[in-house]
């Protein structure tokens, strides 16, 4: 009997290593990589709770984890153009499971009707965090700070029109950090928008896609000047992966597999890895 119990225990441990962790991404087109090949990248490597066949940023996270030797089970629940309140109201049944880490990415302006206002965003984040913690009190629920939209900066009619390109991302970061400080259950934020700002400020990425991409610089936005390009989503995924796992993303190296699969050159992959690392170091 003792030998049988030991054998069963060994089999159980082999099937579910102690280091294995589950992560869920909840978000929208900024999460699933709309406007780029990232959207359909390796969908078989992740679990799409909506069965839309999406890989997206979660699939990039999974690819990084495999190369880093980290055992992560990655899932996503996404819907285009939706805020966190939508997911709580309509997708609770899919989300209500046990997770170790949950990444929350809200609407690109926080609130579609009141851009920049984090009230609705924060309330929904708190409800989702409570739902997650009811299953696992130790779960880490984190908010993503998204990037400045070029279309809301360089075109008229927006609260960010005419401001420096970094302004919108800075405002979104401040709002998300305020939510993290005041809403129970939110562990912190992930500075994706700050990483984009850094790439632009240091001359790696182009600041204004409306006047063309400057020679030698990377375009972070898709053709709609709103969503991310492949490079933009790659930088997003690196920043999320580095913050969640603590892994130094520079160690992925210039020959990192996902970058190669998606057509990013080794030089660009290396440069974006360095931006993500630098941003995370600055925003601990």
Q: What is the DSSP string of 177-188?
A: HHHHHHSTT--E
Residue pair 146/183 in contact (Cβ under 8 Å)? The answer is no
pLDDT at 284: 84
pLDDT at 20: 60
Assigned token pair, 112? 């579609």
What are the phi and psi torsion angles at 18 (to 5°)?
-60, -25
CA distance 10 to 260: 38
**Cα torsion 174, 176, 178, 181: sign:** negative
SS3 111: coil
pLDDT at 240: 98
Packed helices 230-245 and 56-68: angle between N→C axes, nearest 10 degrees: 50
pLDDT at 15: 32
CB within 8 A of 162, min separation 6: which ones?
A: 153, 156
> Could you tell me which of 243, 234, 244, 245 has the C-alpha nearest to residue 272?
234
> Could you tell me which of 242, 268, 240 has the C-alpha nearest to residue 255?
268
Query: In a structure prediction context, what are the per-residue pLDDT tens digits for the chain, which is 284 residues long?
Result: 434 333 333 333 233 333 569 999 999 999 999 999 999 999 999 999 999 999 999 999 999 999 999 999 999 999 999 999 999 999 999 999 999 999 999 999 999 999 999 999 999 999 999 999 999 999 999 999 999 999 999 999 999 999 999 999 999 999 999 999 999 999 999 999 999 999 999 999 999 999 999 999 999 999 999 999 999 999 999 999 999 999 999 999 999 999 999 999 999 999 999 999 999 999 98
Exposed / middle / buried, residue 81 (Cβ in 10 Å: 0-12, 13-18, 19+): exposed
pTM (predicted TM-score): 0.93
pLDDT at 256: 98
Token pair 């990655």 in the structure block, residue: 74
Exposed / middle / buried, residue 100 (Cβ in 10 Å: 0-12, 13-18, 19+): middle
- 21 forms beta bridges with 72
pLDDT at 16: 33
Q: 20-282 belongs to which CATH class?
A: alpha beta
- b/e string for 221-243 if b means 16 or more Cβ within 10 A? bbeebbbbbbbbbbbbbbbbbbb
One-character DSSP codes across 145-171: --PPPTHHHHSSSSTTTTS-THHHHHH
């Amino acid at each position: 009997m003792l030998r049988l119990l030991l054998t069963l225990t060994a089999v159980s441990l082999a099937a579910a290593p102690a280091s294995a962790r589950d992560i869920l991404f909840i978000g929208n087109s900024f999460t699933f990589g709309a406007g780029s090949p990232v959207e359909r990248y390796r969908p078989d490597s992740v679990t799409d709770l909506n069965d839309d066949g999406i890989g997206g940023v979660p699939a990039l996270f999974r690819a990084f984890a495999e190369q880093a030797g980290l055992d992560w089970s990655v899932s996503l629940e996404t819907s285009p153009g939706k805020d966190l309140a939508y997911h709580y109201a309509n997708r609770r049944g899919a989300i209500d499971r046990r997770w170790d880490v949950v990444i929350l990415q809200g609407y690109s302006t926080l609130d579609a009707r009141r851009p920049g206002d984090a009230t609705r965003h924060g309330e929904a984040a708190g409800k989702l965090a409570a739902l997650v913690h009811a299953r696992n009190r130790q779960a880490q629920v984190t908010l993503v700070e998204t990037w400045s939209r070029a279309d809301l900066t360089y075109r008229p009619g927006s609260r960010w029109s005419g401001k420096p390109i970094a302004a919108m991302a800075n405002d979104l970061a401040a709002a998300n950090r305020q939510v993290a400080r005041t809403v129970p259950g939110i562990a912190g934020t992930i500075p994706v928008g700050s990483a984009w700002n850094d790439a632009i400020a240091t001359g790696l990425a182009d600041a204004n896609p409306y006047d063309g991409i400057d020679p030698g610089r990377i375009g972070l936005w898709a053709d709609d000047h709103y969503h991310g390009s492949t490079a933009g989503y790659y930088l997003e995924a690196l920043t999320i992966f580095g913050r969640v796992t603590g892994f130094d993303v520079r160690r992925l190296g210039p020959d990192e597999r996902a970058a190669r699969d998606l057509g990013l050159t080794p030089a660009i992959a290396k440069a974006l890895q360095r931006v993500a690392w630098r941003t995370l170091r600055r925003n601990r």
